[in-house]
A and B are shown apart, each in its own frame.
Chain A
């Protein structure tokens, strides 16, 4: 069975501080991991995926297979980063089937 765990339901930081949203997964095969974000009054949208190795809005995430983690990091948080963040795992061949974590609400204070 595949599982995604986001241990922090709430995370608060001040503007300019570093932020790390934790994500751990359980999957026996070769995983593909994603971070999805939902800003206030907006729909759920893709932030980044590990296979792209990209930085989006200053966020990066590295897949660590040894620790089965995919933590999301940003060195200097901005107020507009406040949102709900979901870590998601694709197991198998279908991109439509994702296993989501419970989500972390990030609040960046001015």
Chain B
């Protein structure tokens, strides 16, 4: 069973640039959620994708967008980067629907973004 993998692990951008973060969900999972974790804080929900559509969004502006692909992998895109976007971005996969839905999220190790 392959776990959740994220890339890149670390990256540095400057204000105003755009970034794309990638996530491969755990084998058999059909739902991907993205979280932002600022230093010293708990993860904060950005949005979730199910069947290639956004299925729930947290309090984040439209410059945070995402995609889910037919193989359930996902991307998080952030445009017009701001200094406050510096954080660890976590991807989590889960199985929605059916007997396999235990409610457990399986997290990746995260992508650490630094905006200068």
Give residues in A with beta carbon < 8 Å to B: 4, 6, 32, 34, 36, 43-46, 49, 51, 86, 88, 90, 92, 94-103
A96 touches B43 (CB 8 A): no
From known contacts A32-B103, A34-B103, A44-B90, infer whether A94 and B43 are also in contact, taking CB-CB under 8 Å.
no
* CB-nearest residue of chain A to B34: A96
Number of A-B contacts (CB under 8 A): 69
Q: Using Cβ atoms and an 8 Å threshold, which residues of chain B touch A90?
A: 103
Q: Using Cβ atoms and an 8 Å threshold, which residues of chain B touch A92?
A: 56
A95 touches B40 (CB 8 A): no
B103 touches A49 (CB 8 A): yes
Of residues 5 to 41 in B, which have CB atoms within 8 Å of A's CB atoms?
31-33, 35, 40-41
A103 touches B42 (CB 8 A): yes
Does B76 sit at the interface, judged by CB under 8 A?
Answer: no
Most buried by A among B90, B103, B104, B110: B103
Does B73 sit at the interface, judged by CB under 8 A?
Answer: no
* CB-nearest residue of chain B to A101: B42
A98 touches B96 (CB 8 A): no
B45 touches A97 (CB 8 A): yes
Kindly identify which residue among A49, A94, A103 contacts B55, using a CB–CB cutoff of 8 Å: A94
A98 touches B108 (CB 8 A): no
Q: Using Cβ atoms and an 8 Å threshold, which residues of chain A touch B108?
A: 43
Tell me, rounded to whole Å, the shortest Cβ–Cβ distance linking B24 to chain A. Answer: 14
